[in-house]
Amino acid sequence: MLMDGHAPIEPGASISRPVSEFAFSPQPDRIKVIAAVWTDGETWGAPASVNSVLNNRVAHAADYEDSARILQQGLSQNWTRDQYEQAFRDKPDSGAVYTVRTALSATLQTAQTPQEFTHTMQFLLTNFQQFSKQLRKVKPL
């Protein structure tokens, strides 16, 4: 099972997640890890499973990079909310795109000034750049 969106695991470390996060019914008493990626670039698991995890990470990194590029363009050109909405309107649904769309909707109530709105877009840009860097840290086999 892939744990989408989870950061690499430090060597020797472990993670626990509530089984309720997974849509099982009835819930299993055990989940088997078939592949893992550690922060130092080491991997564990059958090559096909590891490649699946790594390919997934590359796809997510590309999504964050594309969204970051659009956010950077908007910040550089001082876009309005409408311009950001237009830029993300036809993008396929993904984690990054959903995050931007949600933030754009939320800032209707939370960003009382243009500076607050710009701060939110800058925050997303910084986070997307960090996520992408973290995801690309591990090299494919």
CA dihedral 51, 53, 54, 57 (to 10 degrees): 150
Asked if residue 27 has pLDDT above 80, the reply is: no
Asked if residue 1 has pLDDT above 50, the reply is: no
2 falls within a domain: no
Average pLDDT of the chain to the nearest whole number: 84
Token reading at 13: 């470390």
- Total number of domains in the chain: 1
User: For the residues of 31-49, what is the DSSP string, one character each?
Assistant: ----EEEBTTS-EEE-HHH
Q: How far apart are CA 129 and CA 1, in angstroms?
A: 26
Q: Is 31 helix (H, G, I), strand (E, B) or coil?
A: coil
Give the CA distances from residue 22 to residues 14, 60, 68, 125, in Å, rounded to whole numbers and listed in that order.
18, 20, 29, 29
56 falls within a domain: yes
C-alpha 1 chain-centroid distance: 17
12 falls within a domain: no
Q: Which domain holds residue 72?
A: 19-136
Q: Using DSSP bridges, classify how beta strands 43-45 and 35-37 pair: parallel, antiparallel or unpaired.
A: antiparallel
Token reading at 54: 């790594």
Confidence (pLDDT) at 21? 55
| Burial per residue of 29-52, b for 16 or more beta-carbon CB atoms within 10 angstroms, e otherwise | eeeeeebbbeeeeebeeeeebbee
47 falls within a domain: yes
Based on its alpha-carbon atoms, the radius of gyration of the chain, rounded to whole angstroms, reads 18
4 falls within a domain: no
5 falls within a domain: no
Asked if residue 95 has pLDDT above 60, the reply is: yes
87 falls within a domain: yes
Q: What predicted TM-score, i.e. pTM, was given to this entire model?
A: 0.75
Average pLDDT of the residues in 74-91: 96
97 falls within a domain: yes
Confidence (pLDDT) at 117? 95
Percent of the chain residues topping a pLDDT of 90: 48
136 vs 12, higher pLDDT: 136
47 vs 9, higher pLDDT: 47
